[in-house]
Amino acid sequence: MHFSTMVLSMFLPDVDGPEEDERILRVAIEQSLLSGELGFSPWYTEHHFRGAWHSNPMQFAAYIAPQLPDDLYLGFGVLSLPYYNPVRLVESMNLLDQLMRGRTLFGLGSGFPGLEPRGMGLDVEYHGSGKAAEETLDIMRRLWAHRSGDPEYAFQTPMHRGSIKRRVVPAPYRKRHPTLIRTARRDESVVKAAQSGWPAFLGTFGSDLMTQLRIYRSTLAESGHPPEVIAECLRWCTVDWLSVCVADTAEEAQASVAAARVERMAVRQRFIDSGGPLDGPAIVRKPGESMAANFAQGGDMWETIAGTPDHVAREVRKLADLGINHLLVRFLGEWAGETRPIIEKSMRLFSREVMPRFRNIEPPRGPFEIDLGEIRTA
């Protein structure tokens, strides 16, 4: 079983001035290197106009890469597809994949609404509909498949156009394309990911994990993919825990959660007061609910997993029993703030006392190896 962690999670600048950029870059580097030391693959978000390193996560990751243990990966959750020229994005992903010898995990999505699409020159409706991301991803698939000598391939979107006569270089290390993990909040997105032979984020932002697992694995079985594609999918389908705190006792964990929430919400409110509405990942409990509004109210912390290593390990075991092989953990606390000791202790306890229990668990070999019908709760 593989464990990753999001560096600085959903970082927001508490003090937003150019004099702060160097400090924030340094603490992001510190957290990345500690993550690697503890056995977590570091993951990076992409955001613009908030945080010194968010705006170019692949460049930042390339700096971190040679300082990581050789068995770890670099992950991105997520790259905002509509912001890129498709050719440049495929080139950049392939190059990093080659340099990492296939140890890259590219979460792909639309990115959040708000200031960022406007800053990138995107039509708000085109971005918000999801069409911008889908059109970009379709072009990228064609670029990965294109070979020198194939008929010329031309593409055009409201943002980019081009004409390809030769293959994109370098090729990805994995030959087909780098490992892609698709956001799949809606069931139809789960189906599309499985049909495409991509791993997916499952049970994310309030989606029902058991329902999505059943849909994904049945669709995967029906899609006729070769065994190596199915194995890749089952290895890297990902559950994203938005809020985790590990402590020596249950009482300490609850006290740490309370302190971390206070600081996180204070930073968040100051950002909202100075910059307006704020978008981010949150639990959505009913149709039509706004993820952005929920995030502003602390909706990423509504289902915090907090307790002793034994308690947290029991929660991980539930996922392992379902055949989930990759867990992305966002530890609660502000690495650049006063609650850094909370997040650092959580990481160390998780690494020392939780991870070893799952070190030898292998992913399922086939979509129906684990009978989900016999498992009622996750």
- Cβ neighbors of 77 (< 8 A, separation 6 or more) are 6, 43, 44, 45, 107, 181, 240, 328
For residue 115, what pLDDT band results from cuts at 50, 70 and 90? Answer: confident
Tokens 């952005």 -> residue: 292
Which structure tokens are listed for 31? 């957290």
Of 95, 198, 188, 190, the C-alpha closest to 137 is: 198
Q: Extract long-range pairs of 165-171: CB within 8 Å, 24+ residues apart.
A: 168/87, 168/90, 168/91, 168/94, 168/143, 168/144, 169/91, 169/94, 170/91, 170/94, 170/95, 170/98, 171/94, 171/98
> Over the stretch 218-273, which tens digit does the pLDDT of each residue have?
999 999 999 999 999 999 999 999 999 999 999 999 999 999 999 999 999 998 89
**pTM for the whole thing?**
0.95
Confidence (pLDDT) at 375: 64
Among 89-93, 208-212, 291-295, the minimum mean pLDDT is found in: 291-295
Tell whether the model's pLDDT for residue 202 goes beyond 60.
yes
Tell whether the model's pLDDT for residue 374 goes beyond 70.
no
Tell whether the model's pLDDT for residue 378 goes beyond 60.
no
Task: Look over the chain and give the mean of its residue pLDDT values, rounded to a whole number.
Answer: 94
Which structure tokens are listed for 232? 């890749």
Beta-sheet pairing, 41-44 with 153-156: unpaired
Q: What percentage of the chain carries pLDDT values higher than 70?
A: 99
Confidence (pLDDT) at 376: 53
Please count the residues of the chain. Answer: 378
> Over the stretch 267-316, which tens digit does the pLDDT of each residue have?
999 988 987 778 889 999 888 888 889 999 999 999 999 999 999 999 99
- For 2, 70, 79, 163, 166, the CA distances from 93, given in Å and listed in that order, are 21, 19, 10, 20, 18
- In one-letter notation, the amino acid at residue 78 is V
Confidence (pLDDT) at 187: 92
